[in-house]
Structures are given as C-alpha cells and as structure tokens.
Amino acid sequence: MNALIDQFFNLDVMRQALPYLLKGLLITIVLTAVLAPLGMVTGLGLALASRTSHGPLRWLVRAWVNVFRAMPPLVLIILTFSAFPFLGIQLSAMTCVILGLALNNSAYYCEIFRAGLGSVPPGQAEAARSTGLGRFATLRLVVLPQATRNVLPDLASNTIEVMKSTSLAAILSVGELLFAASTARSVTFNTSPLTLAAVLYLLILIPAVRLSGRLERRAPVTPH
C-alpha cells in the first residue's frame, strides 16, 4: 500500500513537477484552440462541397473523409513527420502534429456538419431564397444556425476528442501536458507526475463530458 502511494500519489514529487505540467497544459490548450476551429472550418467546407451537384468533387470529399477517418491519428502524425523529410521538406514536430490531427479532425467535423445540414428541411432554404436572400446569406442566416444547433452535442463531444488527441504530440516530444509529465517521470523515477497529468486532464474534461452528455439528452430542436 505504501509503495502504491509513494509511486503514484507522491505529493512531494507532484509539487516539484506541477510548474512544468502547468506549462505543458498551456500548450495542450493552445493546440486545442488551434485545432478545433481549424477542424470545424475545414470540416464545414468539406460538408458544403459534399452537397454540391459537382460529381467528382463529391467523390473526392467522400474519399477524403473515409481515408482520414480510417487512419489512426497517430499514423497520420508519424507519416507526416517521417515521410516529408524524404521529399526534402523538414517540418517541425509541432507542425506535423497540427497537420496530422487537422486531417483527421476535418473528416470527423465534416461528417457532423453533413448530418447537421441534412437535418434542415429544404423548405427552409427555399423560403429564404424566395424572400430575396442571396445564396450565401441563406446559408449564413438560415441554414447554418439551424444545422449547427441540431448537431451541437456531436460538435461538443468531438471537440473533447480533439483535446484528448493533442496528447499524441507527446510521442514527437512536443512539450504538451503528457510529454511534460512523462519527462518529469523519467527524471524523478516516480509515476506521480503521470497521475497528476491524468488528474489535470480529468479536471478539465470530466465537466466537459458531463456537459456534452446533458446537451445530448436535451431533445433536438426541429424546425417546422
């Protein structure tokens, strides 16, 4: 029992490691703040492209989504990190993490927005157009607000997944929370920094998970 406390819940070690872990947490938050909007914008763009009447474009989007959803995000990160140097392009580890995860996220956000756009009855857009709104104004003022509201729970839970996936950056030694913790572990020969990292993740993500669960249970608002 003492060995367990000493190895996993050693407060002295945690106190020493805390400043480093907080710095790592900041990078985790920055990564999430970059990746989530990036994924949403590209995902929305792809979703809109998948609804055009242009056949090859639709096919391209389907292929994009299937490929980047099927590949584990870590494979995408390692592929960008290890394959680009063979082309004579040296990218920083941070860039590779952002690139790899953005490709993966874009596919997931695309599927969510596609479902959202599909949930808005076509009559809404037709009515908006017949009042004299342009195509873009119809999308921005009428279709998108309803589409987004209908898939809000999915957007929330996917954004939680984005934050969790930033931990993969640790494998390329990008100094986010998990990397800071595993460095602290190898310096102190003690597992407590990893416990502390898990606790920090949970402090942020458990409220987020509960909140998104509550969004899910609320009945979706369907316009008539």
Partner 1 sequence: MDASGFLDLFLNVDVAKRYLPQLLHGAWVTVSLSVFVVLAGLALGMALALVRLVSPRPVVWLLRLGVDCFRAAPPLAFILLIFFGLPSLGITLSAYWVLWLVLTAILAAFAEEIYWAGISSIHKGQWEAARSTGLSQAQAIRLVVLPQAFKLCVPPLTNRAIAITKNTALGTAIGMPELLNEAQTAQSFSGNATPLILASLGYLLIFIPMMMFAARLEKRMRWGTSR
Residues near partner 1 (CB under 8 A): 3-4, 7-8, 66-67, 69-75, 78-79, 82-83, 86-88, 160, 164-168, 170-171, 178, 181-182, 185, 191, 194-195, 197-198, 201-202, 205-206, 208-210, 213
Cα–chain center distance at 179: 18
Q: Which of 15/210 has CB closer to partner 1?
A: 210
Nearest approach in angstroms of CB 62 to partner 1 is: 11
Nearest approach in angstroms of CB 67 to partner 1 is: 6
Burial class (CB in 10 A: 0-12, 13-18, 19+), 120: buried
Nearest approach in angstroms of CB 37 to partner 1 is: 20
Q: Which of 75/137 has CB closer to partner 1?
A: 75
Q: Which of 2/130 has CB closer to partner 1?
A: 2
Nearest approach in angstroms of CB 90 to partner 1 is: 14
Q: Which of 66/92 has CB closer to partner 1?
A: 66
What phi, psi does 213 have (nearest 5°)? Answer: -65, -40
Nearest approach in angstroms of CB 59 to partner 1 is: 15
Q: Which of 40/111 has CB closer to partner 1?
A: 111
Query: CB count, 10 Å around CB of 7?
Result: 14
DSSP structure string for 72-107: -HHHHHHHHHHHGGGGT----HHHHHHHHHHHHHHH
φ/ψ bin of 132: left (φ > 0), alpha (ψ from -120 to 50), beta (otherwise): left
Q: Which of 63/127 has CB closer to partner 1?
A: 63
Nearest approach in angstroms of CB 101 to partner 1 is: 12
C-alpha distances (whole Å) from 114 to each of 21, 63, 139, 164, 191 are 38, 15, 14, 23, 43
